Chains A and B, each alone.
Chain A
Amino acid sequence: MSDVQTFLDRLAERTEARRQAHGQEPTWIAARRQAGAARFEALGFPDRRVEAWKYTDVRAIARGDFALTDSAEFSPASAAALTLPIAAHRLTFVDGVFSAALSDLGELPTGVAVLPLSQALAENHEAVGGPLGRLTGVEFSPFSALNTAFMEEGAVVRLAPGSVVEKPILLQFLSRANAQPVMSHPRVLIEAGARSQATVIEHHIGESEAANFTNLVDEVMLDRGAILTHYKLQEASLKDLHVASIHVEQGRDSRYTSFNLNLGGSLVRNDLVVDLNGKGAEANFNGLFFAQGRQHVDNHTLANHNAPLTFSNENYKGILDDRARGVFNGKVVVKRDSQKIEAHQSNANLLLSDRAEIDTKPELEIYADDVKCSHGATTGQLDEEAVFTLRTRGIDEQTARGLLTLAFAGEVMERVELEAVAERVELAVAGKLPERFNLSGLVEAAMSLHDD
C-alpha cells in the first residue's frame, strides 16, 4: 500500500464517520475536500527532486500511520505548565481538537470575534466559505491539499474595521503523547478589517514524548491600514512532525510583522508567503531556529511585491548543534511595474558542531528597475577573538561561548515585544544548551561585564 493511499483511506473513513455522526456537510466544504484529496493524490508527497523540497525529506511523514482523534483530554495541571504566562484571549486545541475547558477568551472588545472553526461553521458556514481557501488553495503544496481534505477545526479571528485588541490573542496547540501518533490539520483564518490592530500568538507545544503530525494552514487577510503582529512559537516535542503553510494578503498601508520562532520538532517545515497587494504595505519577517540532535528545520519565505511602494524586511537566524540540519530559502519577487520597492533579506547561521549542516538560498526575482533590494547570507562559527576577549575578562570558555550564542540570537529577540515569548525563547536556547551553559552563571557573567 502506498504512502498516499494510507492517508486517503484515513480520509474515507473519516468522511464516512462524520456523515454518520453529523449528516451531510455543506456542499462547498465537501467539494473542497474532494478537490484537496484529488490534488493530494495527484501530487503525492514531494520527493527531493522537487526544488522546494530539495533539502527536506518528508518520508518520516509519508511513511507514518497517523490516527485522527476526537478527544481533547489534557491534564489541566500540565496544560497550565505549558501555557504562556501572559494575559491573553486564549483558544486551546489538543491534537487539533478544540478544548473549551482549557480555553479562556475573557472579554473581547466589540467587533472582535475569536472562535473555533467548527463553531464558526456551525453559526454561519457561508461567512467562512468566502475567505477560507482564498489564499491557500490546494495547488500550493501537497500538504495544503491534505489540509483542505482533512480540515475540521482551527480558529477564526475577525477584527471589525477600527477595532483594537489590547491583549494578545493566543492560539494554543497542545500535542499529547498518544499510543498511536495522531495527525491534525488545523486551519486558521484571520481577517483584520481596515485600521484594526491585534497581536496573535500561535503556540505549538506538547508533552515531551508526543510524536504527532501537525499540518497547519494559516490564512491571514489584512485590509487597508490594518496592523497585525503574528508570533508563531513552535516548541513542540523533539519527536513531533510539523508542517505549516502561512499565507498573508496585505492591503494598502497595512503592516504585518511575523515572528517565526522554532525550537522544537523533529521535522519542521514552515512556508510563509506574503502578498503585498496595496501601496504602502509593509511586511517584516523575523525568524529564529534553534536545532540540535537530529532535528531538521526548514523555513521557506516568499514576499511578493505586487504593488508599488511596498516594503519587506527579513531577518532569520539559525543556530545548529549536533547533527541538526537547517534550511533557509527566502525569496523576494518584485512584479513588473512595482516601482519604488524596498526589500531586504538577511540570514545568518551559527554552526556549533562539525556535523551540523545549513543549506541556505536567499533569492531575488526582480522585474522592475526602481528598486532597492539586497540580501545577505552568512554562516560561521563563534568568533574566537570574541571568546578570547571574554576570557581575558576572567569568564570561562564555556560561559563565553554561551553568552555569544545568546547574543547571536539576541539580534532577533530584541525585536520581540512580548516578554513572555522572549523569555521562553531565551530560556529555551540557553536551557537547551548543554549543562555547562548555566544560565544564572551567564547572567552573572554578563552583569560583571556590565560593571566593568
Chain B
Amino acid sequence: MASQEMEQLVRREYKEGFVTDIESDTIPPGLDEGTIAFISQKKGEPEWMLEWRLKAYHQWLKMTPPSWAHLDYPAIDYQAISYFSAPKRPEDRPQSLDEVDPKLLETYEKLGIPLHERAALAGVAVDAVFDSVSVTTTFKEKLGEAGVIFCSISEAIRDYPELIKQYLGTVVPVADNYFAALNSAVFTDGSFVFVPEGVTCPMELSTYFRINAANTGQFERTLIICESRAQVSYLEGCTAPQRDENQLHAAVVELVALDDAYIKYSTVQNWYPGDEDGKGGIYNFVTKRGDCRGDRSRISWTQVETGSAITWKYPSCVLRGKDSIGEFYSVAVTNGRQQADTGTKMIHIGEGTRSYIVSKGISAGRSNQSYRGLVKIGPRAKGARNFTQCDSLLIGDQCGAHTFPYQEIGNSTATVEHEATTSKIGEDQLFYCQSRGISEEDAVSMIVNGFCKDVFQELPMEFAVEAEALLNVTLEGAVG
C-alpha cells in the first residue's frame, strides 16, 4: 500500500469521526506535550502520572521505529493520528443489526456467536443488548469478596496509586522499544488486575466484560499482578471479528508473578485484516512481557492470532525467580496479504528455570509469517531448560513462512532444544481423508486443527471451541 493511501485512510477515519463535531473531549490529530497533558487531564490523573507520560514521550522522540522485523509496511505518520478519541455516540452507530455489514453477520453465524452478543460486537447502539449491567455487577461482587481488584487502568491510577507506582513500567520500561514508549506516553485505557496473596481468582477474567463498559482504546495498557501463591487466568480479545476504526494499535501488557504465583494469559486476536489487497487492515504492534519475579512462579502465554494486516508481537517471560516457569503457546494464521512477525523471548536468569515454547504458524494466500524467538540463558541460570517446537504449514505457493530462532546460551548446565519443520498438507493425507468420504475442505480443516492441537488444548474450554471455528473461517477459500 502506498504511503499516500495509508495517509488517506488514517485521515478519512478522523474526518468522519471528529471533524464535524469538535467537542471538548476530542482533539485533532497530532502528538505533542499538549496532547499528553490533555489525555492525562481527561483521565483525571495525578501529577506524577503526567510526568511519567512526558518522560516516555521524550524517550520516544529520541527513538526510531524498528526495522528488523520481516514486515513490509509504509512509514506511519504519527502526527496524522488522533490520540484521544471519545467513544462513538449512540446516534452515530448502526441502529440495528440490519445496518451492519452482512458479511460480518455471516461470520458471526459461522462462529456460532449467540445472537444477543452479535449486536454488541458489531457496535450496535442498543443499551441493554444483553443484561450486561447485572452480569457485571454480580461479577464484581464475587471478585470483591475474594479481594481481587479488576478495573480499568485509569480507575486504578486514581484509586490504587501506590500499586501503580510500584509496578507500572517495571516489566516493560518506558524506553523498552519504540511502540512501548509511544504507548507509555499516550495510553488511554486497559485493564488492571491485582490478585492478593494466596487468592485464586474465582473466575476467568476477560476484557470482554469490560468492553461493554468502556471502549478500548488503540493504545491499551494492561497490568496484572499476582502476589504470592495467587492465581489468575485472563482472557483478552474475542474470536469475533471486531469492528475497529483505529488502524494503529500499540498495546503494552505487563505481568508480575511473585513467589508461587501463576498467571495464565490467553489472547484471541481477530482484528480486521484488510481487504484482499491488504488495504485498511489493522497494524498491531504489541509489547507483552511477564516477569516471574518470585521463586517457583509461572507465567503462561497462549495466543491465537488470526487477524490484523500486520502483527508484531513477542510475548516474553523474564524468568528471574528460582525454578520459575515460562510458557508460550501460539497459533498464528495468515491469509490474504497479512503479515505476521511473532514469537517469544524467554530470558532465563534464575536457577532451575524452565521454558516451553510451542508455535504453530499457518500461512495461506499471499501472506507472510515469521517466527522470531529468543532463548537466553544467563550465566547464573544453573540447570535451566528450554524446549522449543515451531512448525509451519504452507497452504498455496504464494505464501511465505520463516523462522528466526535466536539462542544465546552462557551456561554449560543448561539444556536447550529447538525443533522446527516446514511443510505443506500432504497430498497423501488429503487423499486418505477423501477416500473415506470426507470433502477436501473438511479434510484440510481437520488436518489444520490437528496441527494446532497442542496449542488449542492450552486455551480455556469455550475459547478452544471458538478458536477451531475461527481457524476454519480464516482459512476459507485458501484451498482449492
Tell me which of A196-204, A221-229, A236-244, A369-377 binds B. Answer: A369-377
- B413: interface (CB < 8 Å): yes
Binds A, one of B90-98, B101-109, B392-400, B434-442: B392-400
Residues of B close to A375: CB separation below 8 A: 403, 418-420
Does B397 lie within 8 Å of A363, measured CB to CB?
no
In the bound complex, residues from chain A placing their C-beta under 8 Å from that of B200 are none
User: Does A339 contact B397, Cβ atoms closer than 8 Å?
Assistant: yes
Q: Is B409 an interface residue (CB 8 A)?
A: yes
Which of B157-165, B421-429, B468-476 makes up part of the contact surface?
A: B421-429
Chain B residues whose C-beta falls within 8 Å of the C-beta of A314 in the assembled complex: none
12 A-B contacts (beta carbon < 8 Å):
A351-B412, A356-B410, A357-B408, A358-B408, A361-B407, A363-B405, A364-B402, A364-B420, A366-B400, A366-B422, A369-B395, A373-B423
Nearest-neighbour CB distance to chain B for A125, whole angstroms, equals: 42
CB pair B410–A369 under 8 Å, yes or no, is no
Point out the residue from A51, A359, A373, A380 that lies within 8 Å of B422, measured CB to CB: A373
Q: Is the CB of A360 within 8 A of B407?
A: yes
> Are A361 and B411 in contact (CB-based, < 8 A)?
no
Q: Is the CB of B418 within 8 A of A376?
A: yes
| Cα of A33 to Cα of B422 in the assembled complex, Å | 42
**Taking A370-B424, A379-B416 as contacts, is the C-beta distance between A365 and B397 under 8 angstroms?**
no
The reply to whether the CB of A48 lies closer than 8 angstroms to some CB of chain B is no
Does A368 reach chain B (CB closer than 8 Å)? yes
Contact of B401 among A359, A361, A366 (CB under 8 A): A366
How far, in angstroms, from A244 to B405 measured CA to CA in the complex?
24
Q: Which residues of A contact B397 (CB under 8 A)?
A: 336-337, 339, 368-370
Contact A362 B394 (CB under 8 A): no
Partner of A353, one of B412, B417, B423, B424: B412
Whether a CB of chain A sits under 8 angstroms from the CB of B139 is no
Cβ–Cβ contact A380 & B414, under 8 A: yes
Nearest A residue to B412, CB-CB: A351
Query: What is the bound-complex CA distance between A293 and B398, given in angstroms?
Result: 48
| Any A CB within 8 A of the CB of B17 | no
Contacts of B410 in A (CB 8 A): 355-357
A322 and B388 alpha carbons, distance in the complex (Å): 27
Chain A nearest Cβ from B194, distance in angstroms: 38
Interface size on A, residues (CB 8 A): 37
Binding site for B on A (CB under 8 A): 51, 55, 336-337, 339, 349, 351-381
The chain B residue sitting closest to A378, CB to CB, is B417
Query: Can you add 8 more A-B contacts, CB < 8 Å, to A336-B397, A378-B415?
Result: A352-B412, A354-B413, A361-B407, A363-B402, A364-B392, A365-B70, A374-B421, A381-B412
Using Cβ atoms and an 8 Å threshold, which residues of chain A touch B405?
361-363, 377
Taking the closest CB of chain A, its distance from the CB of B214, in whole angstroms, is 42
Min Cβ gap B429→A in Å is 13
- Are B394 and A366 in touch, CB under 8 angstroms? yes
Residues of B within 8 A of A359 (CB): 406-409
Q: Is B48 an interface residue (CB 8 A)?
A: no
CA distance A366 to B417 in the complex (A): 22
Complex Cα gap A353–B417 (Å) = 18
B412 contacts A356, CB within 8 Å? yes
B402 pairs with A371, CB closer than 8 A: no
Which residues on B sit within 8 Å (CB–CB) of A379? 407, 409, 414-416
Asked if residues A378 and B416 are in contact (CB atoms below 8 Å), the reply is yes
Closest-CB distance, B67 to chain A (whole angstroms)? 11
Contacts of B68 in A (CB 8 A): 51
Contacts of B413 in A (CB 8 A): 354, 381
A295 CA / B410 CA spacing, docked (Å): 15
Q: Which residue of B lies closest to A331 (CB)?
A: B404
**B interface residue numbers (CB < 8 A to A):** 68, 70, 379, 392, 394-424
Whose C-beta in chain B lies nearest to the C-beta of A327? B408
Determine chain A's interface SS by DSSP, over half rule: strand
Contact of A362 among B416, B420, B423 (CB under 8 A): B420
Which of B399, B419, B423 makes the CB contact (< 8 A) with A376?
B419
A349 & B403 in contact (Cβ 8 Å cutoff): no
The 8 closest A-B pairs by CB, nearest first: A351-B412, A369-B394, A373-B422, A377-B418, A357-B410, A379-B416, A369-B424, A380-B415
Provide the bound-state CA to CA distance between A119 and B293, in Å.
67
Q: Are A380 and B416 in contact (CB under 8 A)?
A: yes
In the assembled complex, how far is the CB of residue B470 from the closest CB belonging to chain A, in whole angstroms? 22
**Chain B: minimal CB distance from A299 (Å):** 14
Residues from chain B with Cβ under 8 Å of A378 in the complex: 415-418
Contact A364–B409 (Cβ < 8 Å): no
B423 touches A372 (CB 8 A): yes
State the CA gap A265–B417 with chains docked (Å): 28
B409: A residues at CB distance < 8 A: 349, 351, 357-360, 379
By a CB distance below 8 angstroms, the chain A residues around B399 are: 367, 369
Q: Which residues of chain A come closer than 8 Å to B70, judged between CB atoms?
A: 365
Most chain A C-beta atoms within 10 Å of own C-beta, residue among B395, B410, B412 = B412
Taking the closest CB of chain A, its distance from the CB of B412, in whole angstroms, is 4
- Tell me how far the C-beta of B247 lies from the nearest C-beta in chain A, rounded to whole angstroms: 27
Complex: chain B residue closest to A368, CB-CB: B397
Task: Report the separation of the CA atoms of residues A381 and B68 in the bound assembly, to the nearest whole angstrom.
Answer: 33
Chain B contacts for A352, CB-based, 8 A: 412
Tell whether, in the assembled complex, residue B402 and residue A365 are in contact, meaning their CB atoms are under 8 Å apart.
yes
User: If the complex has contacts A353-B412, A369-B394, A379-B407, are A362 and B418 also in contact, measured as CB distance less than 8 A?
Assistant: yes
Identify the closest chain B residue to A351 (Cβ).
Answer: B412
B273 to A: closest C-beta gap in Å? 20
Residues of chain A within 8 A of B421, CB atoms compared:
372-374
When chains A and B are docked, how far (Å) is the Cα of A378 from the Cα of B417? 4
Separation of A352 and B414 alpha carbons in the complex (Å): 11
B398's partner among A336, A349, A361 (CB-CB below 8 A) is: A336
Q: How far is the CA of A288 from the CA of B412 in the complex (A)?
A: 18
The CA-CA distance from A381 to B308 in the complex, in Å, is 42
Of all chain A residues, the one with the shortest Cβ separation from B396 is A369
Q: A365-B402, A370-B424, A371-B424 are in contact. Are A377 and B394 (CB under 8 A)?
A: no
A115 to B8 alpha-carbon distance, docked (Å):
64
Interface centre among A352, A366, A369 (most CB of B within 10 A): A369
- In the bound complex, CA of A339 to CA of B424 (Å): 11
Which residue of B is nearest A367, CB measured? B400
Nearest opposing residue in chain B for A363, CB measure: B404
Q: Are B392 and A366 in contact (CB under 8 A)?
A: yes
Nearest A residue (CB) for B413: A381
| B-side contacts of A366, CB under 8 Å | 392, 394, 400-402, 422
Let me know if B411 and A354 touch, CB within 8 A: yes
| A361 in contact with B406 (CB, 8 Å) | yes
How distant is the Cα of A367 from the Cα of B405 in the complex, in angstroms? 18
Whether B407 contacts A377 by the Cβ 8 Å rule is yes
**Which residues from chain B contact A349 at a C-beta distance below 8 Å?**
409
The residues of B that contact A370 with a CB separation of less than 8 Å are 397, 424
CA distance A349 to B407 in the complex (A): 11
Contact of A355 among B379, B398, B416 (CB under 8 A): B379
CB proximity of B353 to chain A, nearest CB, Å? 15
Residues of B within 8 A of A374 (CB): 419-422
